[in-house]
Structure 1
Amino acid sequence: MKLLILNYSLIAFLFFPSEIKAQLPDLIPLPVEMKAGEIKNAFSLNSNTLILWSDTGFNPSAAFLNNYLKKHYHLELRGLPYAGQEKRKNVVSMVRVVGTVKNPDQYRIEVTQNGIHISAATDAGLFYGMQTLLQLLPPNANGATYAIPAVSILDYPRFDYRGMHLDVSRHFFDVAFVKKYIDYLAMHKMNYFHWHLTDDHGWRIEIKKYPELTEIGGWRNSSIIGIYPGTGNDGIRYGGFYTQEQIKDVVKYAQERYITVIPEIEMPGHSMAVLAAFPHLSTTPAAPKKVAETWGIFNKFNNVLLPSEQTFTFLEDVLTEVMALFPSPYIHIGGDECAKIWWKQSTFTQNLIKEKGLKDENGVQSYFIHRIEQFVNSKGKTIIGWDEILVGGLAPNAIVMSWRGEKGGIAAAKEQHKVIMTPENSMYFNHSQFMKDDSLTASKFLPLDIVYNYEPIAKTLDAADEKYIWGAQGNMWSEYITNPAKVEYMLFPRLDALSEVLWSPKNKRNYPDFERRLKTQFKRYDLHRINYSKRYL
């Protein structure tokens, strides 16, 4: 009987091939719902295809699609407003619809032999639909006509915060690569870019009121060679920074891809680049300071900001300029790994503890963060901090980014604060992808399956607290990442895994199926000339 059924299936395929369903496309992240149409209903994209859009101006997603097709598929399509063109064939239409949707980023795609129809309630939704369309294209660009499989898709993200971080303090990456990095995030439907602009090892953003921050703090005289503690120092002056005009350019570029750029200005620790320029803001103003030349946190050398009025005035001046550059409603203020031994040894700080009735140096940390939050809130923005900002008492409106495991995030959620989960053992992409990696990396191990199987909502949270888990984020620290090719090698394909964790329904995640779909994704990366980790092939 099984043989007979097989024969009937074979006969159906041979004599009625047009009625056979198309194979579901290999998409990452996996959509909420996807149904294959019949093979005969595949759409042929060619130079005569029109792009139709529903807005009065040329929709940004339509422009993005046209530029993409021109760059990678050598097709330049004409565009027209959707109104009055509804009955046209051989079209890609992008239409804003009015009505109630489950999620503001929701979109639908319908592919038939007459065309491709993308609809959404928001421009962001249209953009995400367009990004899915790019994955429906064949991953090779060597023809005049490209077949798009007949398919019906309904899709929206699981989490509102889908983030990726880039550290440009340890190693600096120019504007061209930062834009490329943002493109990579857009490809994977990420919507937040956490830009780590300052640290002990370099200050990377122009502040007009304090040019010393980049003139002095933007450069270190040497870097260690190899994995810490290294085999010596190279003695090479290293640095760089972004002008305010470059910052604006990057922010605009990200906005066009529906990505919010969150700047991070580290305080009160991780401030050696600041103190090299302004030693009077430290607890030991007479002692010489320099931009850090080795990795890691060393209490003996890494001084911290003094919690003085002079320091707060300085930080408020800096943050005023920063907030004017970034329309993001969120400002990341660091708050991690502050060496409190310096406050313990500081007469000023000990007097402050008595004056303010603080319990101890942990109370100073809380006092410091509260002061900064009050100022940032007064400008209509909200602070984000690493989970150490819980120490001594959490600032009233702060968002917690939990990196030392999930404990801090769980505690913050139970206090009804928004949380971004980014635990080091699952979300630090500077760690090795393989037990024996073929490049210099941080010593810990983070294989692809660990990223893919990470669940941002901890089992210990009850239903009332789960809603405070805003999302999750991958982090790319750059101690051992010195060039763009290395960033790409460390990012891919772990970014694919992260995108599916944050976008796709939990019950649809399946690691063996994800590995299968990666094979097609790698072909797309070849088209983009991305330096992904080919050991997964």
Structure 2
Amino acid sequence: MRASACPWIAAAAALLLAACATAPAPAPMITPAPVRAEVSAGVLRVADGASIVAADPAGRRTAEILAELTARAGGPRLRVTTPGAPGLITLRKGEVKHPEGYELEVTPAGAVVTASTDAGQFYGAMSLWQMLTATPGEARLPAVRIADAPRFGWRGLMLDSARHYQSPAFIRTLIDAMAAHKLNVLHWHLTDDQAWRLEIKKYPKLTQVGAWRVPAGQGPAADIDPATGKPRLYGGFYSQDEVRALVAYAAERHITIVPEIEMPGHASAAVAAYPELAANPNPSRAVPADWGVYPALFNTEDATFGFLENVLDEVIALFPSTYIHVGGDEAVKDEWKASPRIQAQMKALGVKDEHGLQSWFIQRMERHLASRGRRLIGWDEILEGGLAPNATVMSWRGIDGAVAAARSGHDAVLSPAPVLYFDHRQTGRADEPPGRGRVVGLEEVYAFDPAPAQLTPAERSHILGLQANLWTEHVRTEGRAAHMLFPRGLAIAEIGWSPEGRRDFADFSRRAAQGSARLRRMGLPAAETPFRGPDVPADPRYRDSRQLKLCSENIALALEDDAPVRGERAVFLTDIMNPCWIWPQADLAGVAAVRVDVGQLPFNFQIGADIKKVVAGNNRTPAGELEVRVGGCAAPPAVIVPLAQAASNPAVTAVEAKLPPGLGRQDLCFTFTRPAVEPMWALSGVRLLPEAGR
């Protein structure tokens, strides 16, 4: 049919084309979602060579960062022009009420960011950056007017560099990723039992001794350094020059680095370097490699306080942050209880118990920080025994610590485990890296509300914001750190910035997928696993340990093997208290045997009295055995395989176990016996072997 024969068809088509040409484009995919975004007709094209202009020095530096990040993420190559010259993109100062707020207007003629402060101008530029880099190449920006400001002032991530050292280059890339999504606090965990990472000029042994350890396990023990004839040391530290450079780099991106120096507990590395600081009269002289809670405490002598004050003075000189974090968590009081000198001091001070002594300890450190114009922040254990007068509480054992602090008129930051502990796996997929066994997925993080309902509006004003923590006991590499931090870090950014009640996980998930791809283009390998869907086994006859069911989850961990020291290592999902796995309803028709990939792990976990609950000493042969049960874990072992051949191999060994014929579908249960708690046997995978000819 010709259009001329039906003129109404031609007219309708013309109207449709006109409507498509003038209809507003979809809202820009910006994370965190802005307070208000009004899209209108038109598109701004930004190609290589487009110019950015800013009037003041801070604005010009923001323009340079915008250009650099845009190029790194595959967007158009922009150039910064001199003030007064025409620019396709303009950064300017103007009246915007919120100090971190901004306005962004995009039209077909150009883009203008307006803010009253340098920070607001930077955040407007970062929203523009996301629009410029939605896809690689030339950018097509929808016409839009955005008015935006944050919900909370503390929007943070914590990086644990004590358990595993990350390079300054990685930390700079992390800072870029944070800044691009309006996160503004990097809490830097620099000291712990397993390492002291910060150079202190007055006390050089803190890094000469405290920054190095021999990792646990047979693999590292056999990795001999030819220069010393001893096992190779693992570690590293940050020089003061490196720290100054990182602090300046972060400040240009409107991120405050808050350092953490642990006290009075988590002190093993410090007392290995300077034994006179210890409450224990005979402390270990080696930095330990176990994870968990050690009993090592600083003593409460004046000389030790002098040491800590001198350390903090050097910290203050490096970090201009208002807050200095002093830890205060997991300070097991056994060494204080066992010390006659400390007990006499408690009596002289009129302190009724060791919790009161820790309160006295923290209050003394707070007075020193206050005398230097700084504020103390610590984990919620600093509430025990009485909170220091001006202390701020970081609540990790749920939200109760923040609630108690706010009700008593103290500021607080919400950082509760497990939901904001990013050492937990993001999915249950077999391609997830090691981490804590419980899955804390993107949706669970996004659903967290940092404004406790039980607080009054006045009490809520003491909630500074929120922070997610990446503890790195089980996050050995920088790539894995990036994987664990993002895209969940994007959820933290949105929770901390976007208005209350503005939650749409489906929309956020689309933006997070795009944002993760953008981060990967700029050199930070954000996780793809949250967007891959269910983990369907590719082979019905094989299961990775992460695809099996744990019999219990007392302390469930996805652990990396300790060998080989260099190269790819197996990962074992296990409950360290009860290593036991189930393959539910395994199809055993035509199956003659199972091949189990087994490995031995160091039991490098400080779990106190709970060590007595770990089953050991039940072995029949010197190395122990693999037990395979058919029909569930209550059944007697159908097969028992001695592990002598695997005992001498620090990496993975495949062992086979023949099964009775004609079993059909059955629950297979796998357990181990062992002569002692260490080594800990675990399985990384199970394969069903068919009968000959099948």
- Normalising by structure 2, we get a TM-score of 0.71
Aligned pairs for 1:336-415 (under 5 A) are 336-415=329-408
CA distance in structure 2 between the aligned counterparts of 1:198 and 1:188, rounded to whole angstroms: 28
CA change 1:23–1:272 in 2 (3 A) is same
> Which runs of no fewer than 5 residues in structure 2 stay unpaired?
1-9, 224-230, 532-694
CA distance in structure 1 between the aligned counterparts of 2:80 and 2:381, rounded to whole angstroms: 53
2:122 is aligned with what amino acid?
Answer: F
Q: Equivalent residue for 1:3? A: none
Bigger shift: residues 176-185 or 12-21: 12-21
Q: Equivalent residue for 1:418? A: 411
Q: Percent identity?
A: 39
Deviation at 1:136, TM superposition (A): 0.8
> Which runs of no fewer than 5 residues in structure 1 stay unpaired?
1-6
Structure whose alpha-carbon radius of gyration is higher: 2
Aligned pairs for 1:218-233 (under 5 A) are 218-224=211-217
RMSD over equivalenced CA pairs, Å: 2.1
Which of 75, 81, 96 aligns to 2:93? It is 96
What do residues 58-116 of structure 1 show as CA deviations (whole Å, max 9, x unaligned)?
6221111222344433524241214xx5xx5x61000011x460x21010000001100
Q: Equivalent residue for 1:124? A: 119
CA distance in structure 1 between the aligned counterparts of 2:290 and 2:428, rounded to whole angstroms: 25
Which of 439, 442, 450 aligns to 1:445? It is 439
Please tell me whether residue 54 in structure 1 is matched to residue 50 in structure 2.
Answer: no
Bigger shift: residues 384-393 or 278-287: 278-287
Which of 499, 507, 529 aligns to 1:505? It is 499
CA distance in structure 2 between the aligned counterparts of 1:132 and 1:432, rounded to whole angstroms: 29
Q: Is the 8 A contact 2:105 2:145 kept in 1?
A: yes
Deviation at 1:462, TM superposition (A): 1.1
2:470 is aligned with what amino acid?
Answer: M
Deviation at 1:427, TM superposition (A): 0.5
Deviation at 1:444, TM superposition (A): 2.7
Aligned pairs for 1:53-452 (under 5 A) are 53-55=54-56, 59-71=60-72, 72-73=74-75, 75-82=77-84, 88=86, 91-97=88-94, 99=95, 101=97, 103-142=98-137, 145-224=138-217, 236-298=232-294, 302-437=295-430, 438-452=432-446
CA change 1:526–1:262 in 2 (3 A) is closer
- Normalising by structure 1, we get a TM-score of 0.91
1:93 is aligned with what amino acid?
Answer: T
What do residues 501-529 of structure 1 show as CA deviations (whole Å, max 9, x unaligned)?
10101221111221232332233234224
CA distance in structure 1 between the aligned counterparts of 2:486 and 2:117, rounded to whole angstroms: 29
Aligned length: 513
What do residues 256-314 of structure 1 show as CA deviations (whole Å, max 9, x unaligned)?
1000010000000000000101111112233433212110014xxx3200011011000
1:495 is aligned with what amino acid?
Answer: G
Deviation at 1:8, TM superposition (A): 10
SS of corresponding position for 1:205 = coil
Q: Is the 8 A contact 2:59 2:92 kept in 1?
A: no
What do residues 411-447 of structure 1 show as CA deviations (whole Å, max 9, x unaligned)?
0001111100000121100111113453211223211
1:13 is aligned with what amino acid?
Answer: L
Q: Is the 8 A contact 1:106 1:125 kept in 2?
A: yes
Q: Equivalent residue for 1:523? A: 517
Deviation at 1:386, TM superposition (A): 0.2
Deviation at 1:11, TM superposition (A): 5.7
Q: Is the 8 A contact 1:56 1:81 kept in 2?
A: no
SS of corresponding position for 2:346 = helix
Bigger shift: residues 462-471 or 61-70: 61-70
What do residues 225-272 of structure 1 show as CA deviations (whole Å, max 9, x unaligned)?
89xxxx999754211101100000000000010000100000000000
CA distance in structure 2 between the aligned counterparts of 1:80 and 1:447, rounded to whole angstroms: 46
Bigger shift: residues 241-250 or 457-466: 457-466
CA distance in structure 2 between the aligned counterparts of 1:498 and 1:233, rounded to whole angstroms: 42
CA distance in structure 1 between the aligned counterparts of 2:264 and 2:179, rounded to whole angstroms: 32
1:415 is aligned with what amino acid?
Answer: S
SS of corresponding position for 1:189 = coil
Deviation at 1:17, TM superposition (A): 2.9
1:139 is aligned with what amino acid?
Answer: A
CA change 1:283–1:536 in 2 (3 A) is closer
CA change 1:53–1:277 in 2 (3 A) is same
CA change 1:12–1:332 in 2 (3 A) is farther
Q: Is the 8 A contact 2:50 2:77 kept in 1?
A: no
SS of corresponding position for 2:257 = strand
Deviation at 1:346, TM superposition (A): 0.7
CA distance in structure 1 between the aligned counterparts of 2:251 and 2:276, rounded to whole angstroms: 38
